[in-house]
Amino acid sequence: MVKEIEVLPEFRRGAIALGSVAAFRYQGTLEQELGRRLSKDEAVGLLEWMLAVRSFEQMVVAMKEGRAKPHEGFSFTGATHLSIGQEAVAVGTMAALRPDDYITSTHRGHGHAIAKGAYSLLGMNAEQLAEWMGESWEGQGREELLPRALQLHLNRTMAELLGREDGYCRGRGGGMHIADFHVNHLGANAIVGGSLGIATGAGLAAQRLENGRVVACLFGDGAANNGIFHESLNFSAMSQLPYGLPAIYIIENNQYGMTGQQRGEVTGIDCLARRGAAYNRDNMHAEVVNGMDVLAVWDAVARAAEVCRAKQGPVLLECLTYRYMGHSLSDQRVRYRSREEEDAWRDKDCIETYQQQFPDAGVMSEEEIASLRASVEERVAEALTWAAKSPEPDPATITEGLFAQSTSEDIGADLQTRELLRPTRTYRRDSEGRIMYRHAVCEALGEEMKRDRRVVLFGEDVADYGGAFQVTVGLLEAFGRERVFNAPISEAAIVGVAAGASMCGLRPVAEIMYIDFMPLAMDQVANQAAKTRYMFGGNATLPMVVRTTVGGGRGYAGQHSQSLEAMLTQVPGLKVVAPSTPYDAKGLLKSAIRDDNPVIFIEHQLLYTERGVVPEEEYTLPLGSAAVRREGKDVTLVAYLKMAQVAMQAAELLAEEGIEAEVVDPRTLIPLDVATIAASVEKTGRLVVVCQAPKTGCFGEHIAYRAQEIAFSSFKCPAKIVAAYDIPPPMAQTLEMENLPSPESVARAAREMLSA
């Protein structure tokens, strides 16, 4: 399919105008806003929740220093990354959003969590409040429910900070990883910039599902120097999208990464908002905002949300603020910044400068402000008492929440794709009912996209070209560019977007062209997609698939031929699939797409043109079920992907010598069907595991260990692993062939066992 846009050579002399970045556009006052855009109650609410955030974090300091002890023997351990001084950004942002809008947060995110929860609860009716609290709402009015809900919100936040079972994430996440998916808080993130891809994915989901939501992605100034920042902003502004994603990227510039300053030290620019010029013609509507003025933040985010809802996003805001404390409470901040600097920022304190406007504006007297402050401090103290009494998680529940047990198996007809641009392709079978492996993968994708309109496919070159290996040919023509589109060469963004989109209602299938490129995305794979469900107390589901390939045997050398599956199996929270036949590839991919967990689906490049019998009728295969490819009694050969073929060929060589080898293909590595492997070893007494990866640290070692753990008494001799050398894959054919396991080397290992 030829691209819609022709790229022609044009070399006209001229200049590229980048436009300007607005700075400190808002110059309003509380008195001006009252009765115009802000009610008296709303004005008081801004102060109340800034006080709540500060009081909460001051309580953290008191706990850490041993001054706050709700009971005898109490001690506090955990992260202490505080945002004292930055309250205006958190509260101003949340006040400007709709209750159902998404946010992502940072390791310095107590304020974001408190404000997001509060403003979402303030937007709920009685029934919604009762549901959020897990109560029956009948007979209870909103006036009765709301104060209890707001207190419970503070309680749960504090409980998570203390690692208690009643915390938002059941104590699994702690202070750096708080989320509440009931109010679309998609989680705080301890990886600098880690949530940028997730927020972009949430924006993609909002766009595709047309739910009118925006996502506010809050991150620190240090994250603006991170690769995922650039990848995510570029992704969100791509011209091929129907319109820019409804995402507001908010740089909470508190002047320091840890100790490094953005201005005059680790960047070459005076304002980070200037970077918006790199991503679209509107400079991403970039703006520098006074982050010490809650009204300025509220105004800027409200305008940004309007831009996004008008399909003119994304937006980049830089809120200039200051953290009064160090990076953490152990940070000796006086070693890298002066007292004069701190005092200058404290003179602009967001709470003090805001509340000073109250008497003249007729909102509250000084006595009423003092009373409000005392009330807030009392509620925070109550939250600490409640949280300290909350039970600690039972060690017996340590694995709970890692994997979702649900699938989309029983979805209704309302989720089917309503119209196709052209029929999906069913590949013609030969006289034996066979099609190629790559065609089986394509059929699975087409069938699942037709079955469920939430399934979207993106990756490098997957659209018009059909992917580097021509696997996805024809899908763009059937489903259009809203369902099948090319991603930039941005592996981290590809996976991060898939994670965020899956958390917000889509079921993405993302492609990473070669597994060798997976290290570029490993933060998003290992720290985001894999950990999100468990880290947030089992409250999230991430129905996403990342398709990738392994090579070897094509002369592509060290950076396109590796087998890095063990790197992925090391990460709890991922399922890893490795099919060796067309039949398995189709059935397992369909199951992977329906699964409500992150699945890494590995395809071998040398299998793409292999043929196998694939029924035209609907079928799926369960994840975690091995296949016995050949029965035998003398030795067990375990292998997956291309190596399963090698093992079968080795079994044929051995059969010529009267040796009966049983071949077991795991098909999925996580979960691993250890029972089938152990049962085979119990029959044969010998085990050879064949693996294309380097021997040291390969997944074959794990297979051998697990088999010996379960069936140790049946082993007649130690297990053997036939694998590659501990070298990067070489290019020269003689070296590459020597490096890869062969039928002869596998058969040789089996003979050695039998003669021992």
Q: What is the pLDDT of residues 616-647, one digit of tens each?
A: 999 999 999 999 999 999 999 999 999 999 99
How far is Cα 540 from Cα 499, in angstroms, rounded to an integer? 11
DSSP assigned state of 670: E
Looking at residue 326, its pLDDT comes to: 86
DSSP structure string for 150-174: HHHHHHHHHHHHTT-TTSTTTTSS-
The CA distance from 164 to 157, in Å, is: 10
Q: How far is CA 651 from CA 629, 640, 718, in A?
A: 10, 15, 19
Q: Which of 107, 110, 560, 604 is catalytic?
A: 560
Active site residue 560: yes
* 215 Cβ contact list (under 8 Å, min separation 6): 101, 102, 103, 104, 186, 199, 202, 203, 206, 246, 247, 248
Half-sphere exposure of 227 (CA within 13 A, CB side): 12
Give domain limits for the chain. Answer: 22-391, 413-613, 627-755
Q: Is the pLDDT of residue 2 over 80?
A: no
The C-alpha atoms of residue 533 and residue 72 are separated, in whole angstroms, by 34
Any idea which residue has 């399934």 for tokens?
455
Express each pLDDT in 208-258 by its tens digit: 999 999 999 999 999 999 999 999 999 999 999 999 999 999 999 999 988
The residue-averaged pLDDT of 717-732 equals 96
Q: What is the mean pLDDT of residues 105-129?
A: 96
| Spatial separation of the C-alpha atoms in residues 716 and 673, rounded to whole Å | 22
- Contact assessment for residue 94 and residue 115, using Cβ atoms and an 8 Å cutoff: yes
pLDDT score, position 477: 96
Does the structure show a pLDDT above 80 at 3?
no
Q: Are 661 and 637 in contact (CB under 8 A)?
A: yes
3-state secondary structure of 633: coil
The span from the CA of 167 to the CA of 572, in Å, is 22
Phi–psi pair at 375, nearest 5 degrees? -65, -45
Q: What percent of the chain has pLDDT over 70?
A: 100
pLDDT in tens, 27-75: 999 999 998 999 999 999 999 999 999 999 999 999 998 899 888 888 8
pLDDT confidence of residue 639: 98
Give the mean pLDDT of 731-752: 96
Least trusted range by pLDDT, from 43-47, 133-137, 497-501, 604-608 = 133-137
Tell me which H or E stretch contains 709.
Answer: helix 699-711
Both structure tokens of 69? 């002890």
Contact 383, 155 (CB under 8 A): yes
Q: What is the mean pLDDT of residues 338-352?
A: 95
> What is the spatial distance between Cα 331 and Cα 511, in angstroms, rounded to a whole number?
41
Predicted confidence (pLDDT) per residue in 68-100, tens digit: 988 888 888 877 899 999 999 999 999 999 999
pLDDT at 1: 62
Provide the terminal-to-terminal Cα distance of the chain, rounded to the nearest Å.
59
Section 505-520 average pLDDT:
97
The reply to whether CATH 3.40.1010.20 applies to domain 22-391 is: no
Token pair listed for 114? 């408190």
Positions of E strands within 605-646: 611-613, 627-630, 635-638
Q: How far apart are CA 154 and CA 434, in angstroms?
A: 60
Task: Please tell me the CATH code under which domain 627-755 is placed.
Answer: 3.40.50.920
Token digits for 543? 């129905």
Q: What is the mean pLDDT of the chain?
A: 95
Cα distances (angstroms) measured from residue 457 to each of 53, 72, 448: 41, 56, 11
pLDDT at 667 over 80: yes
User: How is residue 411 written in tokens?
Assistant: 């979805």
The total of other beta-carbon atoms located within 10 Å of residue 366's CB is 11
Whether pTM exceeds 0.75: yes
Q: What is the CATH number of domain 413-613?
A: 3.40.50.970
Q: β-strand 545-550 against 599-604: which pairing, if any? A: parallel
